[in-house]
Amino acid sequence: ETEIPESHPRYESLLTRHRIEHGVDIGITSRQGLIAQGRGEAYDYLLGERTIESADDAARAAAAHFLLADHPVISVNGNVAALVPGEVIALAEAAGADIEVNLFNRTRERMETIADHLSEHGAEDVKGLTADSEIPGLDHARAKVDADGIGSADVVLVPLEDGDRAQALSAMGKVEVVIDLNPLSRSAQAASVPVVDNIIRAVPNITRHARELQDADESELHAIVESFDPETALEAAERAIRRGE
């Protein structure tokens, strides 16, 4: 593996690529995951590879939703597992959330490899392998979830989700937090809280907000949730991309 000098102007971006490549090599990331990452990078470049203000507001609203939830769940796919395994576990701890492996291209082998990978990073209980429930409106393989995980969650974080499943989950009435660099994607459009930011920055940022809000009372959390408007956030992200604002 080539060493990337930290002084390289695109150091972060190159490091991220290596993580995804490695994810493919060890069998956790799908080959389509490479394409998805490339698409994400293009948007990140246009956003200036930074967390824009509206994405930070969204991250705070996401944290407030998590803290108010009865049963929050973080959905993990092959890209998420390769890019931010430890960060997802830290968020689950800060937000009191479950972790569930949920794949677009589901194979038993990749499900198990990802669950093992998360356990190696310190996750205690990884859901997703039981698959005893379904999201209505999707074909069988893509609908599978755990009844005591996403099946019964009231708040779900779905990073880098495909549009169909994002829409089907929000149709179930769940509060859906989506992390997606493309503000025009159907997932971002379907979300109660679209976080238009790189997952590399977004997950630690939601964790930071959750820790800050740990002792906040419910009325403050409700106020944060209610003052967040998804349409406004998506418009702000689009402006940032088009005009660099």
Q: Is the CB of residue 188 less than 8 Å from the CB of residue 194?
A: yes
Residue 113 is a binding residue for ligand PTJ (CB under 6 A): no
Q: How many CB atoms lie within 10 A of CB 85?
A: 23
Stretch near ligand PTJ under the rule CB under 6 A, chosen from 6-14, 71-79, 149-157, 223-231: 71-79
**Closest distance to ligand PTJ from the beta carbon of 60 (Å):** 18
* 124 DSSP 8-state letter: S
Residue 142 is a binding residue for ligand PTJ (CB under 6 A): no
Cross-strand partners of 147: none
**Closest distance to ligand PTJ from the beta carbon of 81 (Å):** 8
Residue 39 assigned as binding residue = yes
Q: Is the CB of residue 196 less than 8 Å from the CB of residue 47?
A: yes
What's the angle, vertex CA 7, arms to CA 33 and CA 56, rounded to 5? 55
- How far is residue 115 CA from its own chain's centroid? 16
Residue 201 assigned as binding residue = no
Residue 126 is a binding residue for ligand PTJ (CB under 6 A): no
Which class for 205: exposed (0-12), middle (13-18), buried (19 or more C-beta within 10 A)?
buried
Residue 237 is a binding residue for ligand PTJ (CB under 6 A): no
Residue 187 assigned as binding residue = yes
Q: Is the CB of residue 220 less than 8 Å from the CB of residue 63?
A: no
Nearer Cβ to ligand PTJ (105/152):
105
Q: What is the CA radius of gyration of the chain?
A: 17
- How far is residue 118 CA from its own chain's centroid? 15
Nearer Cβ to ligand PTJ (68/123):
123
Strands (E), 133-231: 133-134, 144-145, 155-159, 175-179, 193-195
One-letter amino acid for residue 130 of the chain: T
Residues 174-203 that bind ligand PTJ (CB under 6 A): 179-182, 185, 198-199
Residue 228 is a binding residue for ligand PTJ (CB under 6 A): no
- Whole-angstrom Cα distance, residue 19 to residue 25? 10
**Closest distance to ligand PTJ from the beta carbon of 163 (Å):** 7
**Closest distance to ligand PTJ from the beta carbon of 189 (Å):** 11
Stretch near ligand PTJ under the rule CB under 6 A, chosen from 30-38, 91-99, 167-175, 219-227: 30-38
Binding-site residue set for ATP: 17, 39, 180-182, 186-187, 198-199
Query: Interface residues with ligand PTJ (CB under 6 A)?
Result: 30, 32-33, 36-37, 39-40, 43, 77-79, 103-105, 160, 162, 179-182, 185, 198-199
